[in-house]
Amino acid sequence: MTSPATPSDPSGPTGAAPTTAIVLGGGALGTSIAAHLARAGVAVTLATSGELCDGASGRSLSWLNSAGDRRPAYHALRVLGIDRYRTLFAADPSRDWLRFPGGVWWTDGEDADQETRSRHEGEVDRGYHSRLLGREDLQAAFPDLDARAAGAAAIHNPGEGWVSLPHLVEHLAAELRERGARILTGLGACEVLVEDGRAVGVRDSSGTEHRADAVVVACGAGTSAVMARAGVQIPDGSPLSMLVTTEPAEAEAPVLNTPRAAVRPNPGGTFCVDHDWYVDRIVEREDGSCTVDEEIVEELLAEASRLFAPGTRLRAAGWAAGRKPIPADGEPVLGTVSALPGCAVAFTHSGATLALIAGETVAHEVVTGRRHPLLAAFSPDRFAA
């Protein structure tokens, strides 16, 4: 069965610029890649199993950062990711879903002081804006926090920010609609359609085929399974996670990364809160849905409330849990797949920070057929051996 509106000629010679593309996965990465392909003049279809943003992008802390220690190529990509958000911010600084209030990090334990100093020095060496703050400076800079909760020293990264991915996805989806792209939701679990060793489209759960010159798989934590069915191994390491969204609270804060709670502001005066200490207590059912004890939510919000001035009590408005997309080796998997011509992949941790730059560079590879130098270190081909 073939859908009537399907673009018809996917059989152009290998290496020719695609005129049609289908992007599988309606999260931040898929939507961004689709938008960048549409900007390049490609007739795009964005296809997803349920609703847009019903995966990790709908329950992400989405701290925009390149803090801490990582490989130079990954650091460069993340810094460029933040740069693209800066450009988006400058186009309309009134958006309440993309802000740059900076980030604050601290740790605890016996080696906290040493760990903090060495993290700070590493950041300074890489040219990442990093300031070491004592408790008094921290309190003065962020009066709504309770600096007594912090270690003796904290790191302030003034260039960091946060984004609400559901808003970003809606923003990019609106652009897609304006550009005449198709957005297909509710398709169920789709698979890549492979003919003569080439990706030629996608088959949805009803059996309908959606053909295109190029296929991009951006299925978040489902990416490994989709690619495995198409004969390409991309090992998965996606852990469980949970994000709590609070009721509105009278407090202002940067993004906070602390030993027991990570917190970021969210539109409407609310906050989003997560961490990883409770991950073993999240129960995943066979259908992928999760349950979390109410007491874990309360415990997390008690930890988060302690970061704020006395009297501030964060209350849960809701929570969402599921897999956080992370490739098994922890590094991004971005770009075209040599073993499956016509197919590219986008699967990464920190997909909020990378969403715009990954959309731009993966779309560039799809359109030009050339490996983007920024993605050389992140090619899906590294698993082929």
Ligand X SMILES: Cc1cc2nc3c(=O)[nH]c(=O)nc-3n(C[C@H](O)[C@H](O)[C@H](O)COP(=O)(O)OP(=O)(O)OC[C@H]3O[C@@H](n4cnc5c(N)ncnc54)[C@H](O)[C@@H]3O)c2cc1C
By beta-carbon proximity to ligand X, the closer residue of 207 and 310 is 207
Q: Determine the interface stretch with ligand X among 5-13, 49-57, 84-92, 95-103 (rule: CB under 6 A).
A: 49-57
Q: Does residue 334 touch ligand X according to CB under 6 A?
A: no
Is the CB of residue 340 less than 8 Å from the CB of residue 194?
A: yes
Q: Which is nearer to ligand X, 139 or 245 (CB)?
A: 245
Verify binding: residue 353, ligand X, rule CB under 6 A.
Answer: yes
Determine if 29 is a binding residue for ligand X (CB under 6 A).
yes
Choice from 54, 123, 160, 360 touching ligand X (CB under 6 A): 54
The backbone region for 240, taken as left when phi is positive above 0, alpha when psi lies in -120 to 50, beta otherwise, is beta
Q: What's the Cα-to-Cα distance from 42 to each of 117, 133, 200, 212, rounded to whole Å?
A: 48, 49, 15, 10
Count of helix runs (H) and strand runs (E) in the chain: 8, 22
Give least dist CB 206 to ligand X, A. Answer: 12
* Only segment of 60-68, 105-113, 142-150, 362-370 that touches ligand X (CB under 6 A): 60-68
Pick the piece of the chain touching ligand X (CB under 6 A) from 51-59, 66-74, 125-133, 232-240.
51-59
Locate 370 and state its tokens: 């050339």
User: What are the tokens at 121?
Assistant: 């020095």
Nearest distance in Å: CB 13, ligand X: 28
Q: Which amino acid is at 25?
A: G
Any bridge partners for residue 336, and if so which? Answer: 344
DSSP track, 9-60: ---PPTTSPPSEEEEE--SHHHHHHHHHHHHTT-EEEEE-SSSTT-SGGGS-
Q: Which is nearer to ligand X, 25 or 159 (CB)?
A: 25
Q: How many other C-beta atoms lie within 10 A of the C-beta of residue 294?
A: 9
Residue window 85-124: x/- pattern of binding to ligand X, with contact defined by CB under 6 A: ----------------------------------------
Note the helical H segments in 197-310: 223-229, 294-305
Q: Is 138 in the site for ligand X (CB under 6 A)?
A: no
Q: 220-249: which residues touch ligand X (CB under 6 A)? A: 220, 222, 226, 241, 243
- The answer to whether 10 touches 22, Cβ cutoff 8 Å, is no
The torsion defined by the Cα of 347, 351, 357 and 358, in degrees rounded to 10, comes to 10
Provide, rounded to whole angstroms, the least separation between the CB of residue 62 and ligand X.
5
- Residue with Cβ nearer ligand X (42 or 219): 219
Question: Which of 6, 49, 116, 224 touches ligand X (CB under 6 A)?
Answer: 49
Applying CB under 6 A, which residues contact ligand X?
Answer: 24-30, 48-50, 54-57, 59-63, 165, 187, 189-190, 218-220, 222, 226, 241, 243, 274, 324-325, 348-353
